[in-house]
Structure 1
Amino acid sequence: MATLPPQRPHDASDDAEPRQRRSRRKEARPGELLDAALALFVEKGFAATRVEEVAARAGVSKGTLFIYFPSKEELFKAVVRESISGKYTEFGQELETYTGTSAELVRYCMHEWWREIGMSAASGITKLVMSEAGMFPEIAAFYQQEVIGPGHDLLGKVLQRGIASGEFRPMPIEYAVYSLIAPMIFLLMWKHSMAPCCPPSQQLDPVSFIDTQVSLLLGGMLAPTPTR
């Protein structure tokens, strides 16, 4: 009769390792759920995304999802805070410590926003909100409060900085801000609508597009050079 190989003595660490893996898995679940939700919201829209799909993609049960996020609306809000509005504090700090000219700051802001938001999966959230705002006004109101309003305020400070230094001509900041926002919204909408359908010869290069828009905008914002 075959003999079994000798067993090594039981070590308490044998039980600890699986527990640690389970613990790490539990702690990681909110982040995994947010990643899964972001991907599905961008892919399918808010209305068509079901919480069961989010849970399945994250590898957890629907009940686990509801432990962290009590509704699809709260899940969406958490996604927006994590991927977009949560970055505004850092943006604001950079604005306060920036030492270049205001013209350079405008260019930096638009390129940095594209790098942080436009190049990420979160870039599809704007199209989702604009498409479904009529069906879900509470989502639109949340987006206005968490994303559009704070972003408007940050850009307003950039323009006010240039006016105060004499670099920019006086302008109605409340409306001038939209001149900076509009090209970025166009770029996002293009990325998530026409870009996948266009041949390579008709694709937009985001960096070149932003540089062109900034140059045009600064041409209208810069104060005239005094003549002697």
Structure 2
Amino acid sequence: MNCPFGIKPRWERRKDARPQELLAAALDLFVEHGYAATRLEDVARRAGVSKGTLYLYFENKEELFKAVVRESIVPAIGDAEEYIASFEGPSAELLRWVIATWWERIGASKASGISKLLMAEASNFPDLAQFYRDEVISRASAMISSMLERGVARGEFKPMDINVATQVLIAPVLMLMLWKHSVGPCDQRILEPQAYLAQLTDMVLHGLLTTEQGGGGCADTR
């Protein structure tokens, strides 16, 4: 029977929402307990469905994990790639946007705990580590490299070893995400992420900008 005003029955809306509910529950448990210790029955229970229902959407735990990464992290990389490709302003402004937006989209979210999970368990699950390298690490590194190459080509950034500079830029942000999910909750000394990232950006730009672009005095720490 057709429903008035295009409103779906409650059970149908529930069915449509199940994959997202399962992914949200899986992300919570992967971050809380790690990959090895997360059981599919626990994911199903937290999502409020049966284990059999989970198997209707995901073949196994590995496919569920991949779906979590593709849902919570990969889209942010795609959006950043598009923004960098179309951006027409100064490269310093672009770098600020990339760092701030990465934290807003990934670092400040529960998805940031995936980085800690992979570092802890990659050796035990090499296939997952390779998947994460292909779909997250390689793409994110290429994105950062393209931004640095843009700045050098425009004469805004000093010549540099792009591969090395890319890793130097990624490492402090990765450290902040790891801190958040390890000693951060127990550390009585407060490390405020926005202040940390503002200081990081300021220090990076002091090293990157040519003299013509204000490399001798980059005081803006937005």
Task: State how far apart, in whole Å, the 2-side matches of 1:181 and 1:13 are.
Answer: 53
Match of 2:79 in 1: 90
State the AA in 1 paired with 2:155.
G
Residues 11-22 of structure 1 correspond to what in structure 2 (within 5 A)?
20-22=9-11
Which residue does the alignment assign to 1:51? 40
Give TM-score, length-normalised by structure 2. 0.90
How far apart are 1:13 and its partner, in Å?
A: 7.9
Aligned residue in 1 for 2:194: 207
**Structure-2 separation of matches of 1:22 and 1:35:** 19
Query: 1:179·1:217 contact (CA, 8 Å) conserved in 2?
Result: no
For residue 111 of structure 2, the aligned residue among 106, 122, 144 is 122
Note if 1:144 corresponds to 2:133: yes
**CA distances 1:142-164 after superposition (whole Å, capped 9, x unpaired):** 11001000001111110011001
Kindly provide the CA deviation profile for residues 76-112 of structure 1, in whole angstroms up to 9, marking residues without a partner as x.
0000000001222211121122232111111110010
> Within 1, Cα distance between the matches of 2:175 and 2:77?
21
8 Å contact from structure 1 (residues 45, 128) kept in 2: yes
TM-score (structure 1 length as normaliser) = 0.88
Structure 1 counterpart of 2:163, one-letter code: E
Question: Which is worse superposed, 190-199 or 35-44?
Answer: 190-199
Give the distance between the partners of 1:70 and 1:220, measured in 2 at CA.
48
Q: Using the alignment, how far apart are the partners of 1:116 and 1:34 within structure 2?
A: 17
CA shift for structure 1 position 216: 1.3
Pick from 178, 181, 188: which aligns with 2:170? Answer: 181
Paired positions, count = 211
Structure 1: which 5+ residue stretches go unaligned? 1-11
Q: Which moved more, 1:40-49 or 1:89-98?
A: 89-98
Which residue type is aligned with residue 86 of structure 1? P
Deviations 1:15-57 (CA, angstroms, capped at 9, x unpaired): xx9x821111111100000000000000000000000000000
Residue 170 (str. 1) matches residue 159 (str. 2): yes
| Pairwise CA distance, 1:207 | 0.9
Q: Which has the larger radius of gyration?
A: 1
Unaligned runs of 5+ residues in structure 2 are 214-222
The answer to whether residue 4 in structure 2 is matched with residue 30 in structure 1 is no
> Percent identical across equivalent pairs?
50
Distance in 2 (alpha carbons) for counterparts of 1:96 and 1:86? 16
Tell me whether 1:153 sits opposite 2:151 in the alignment: no
Partner of 1:6: none
Paired residues of 1:55 and 1:62 also in contact (CA < 8 A): yes
**Correspondence for 2:88:** 99
Amino acid at match of 1:27: D
Residue identity opposite 1:207 in structure 2? Q
CA distance in 1 between counterparts of 2:208 and 2:66 reads: 35
Which whole-Å deviations, capped at 9, do the CAs of 1:93-136 have from their partners, x for residues lacking one?
21122232111111110010000001111010000000001111
User: Hey, which bits of structure 1, 4+ residues long, moved more than 3 A?
Assistant: none
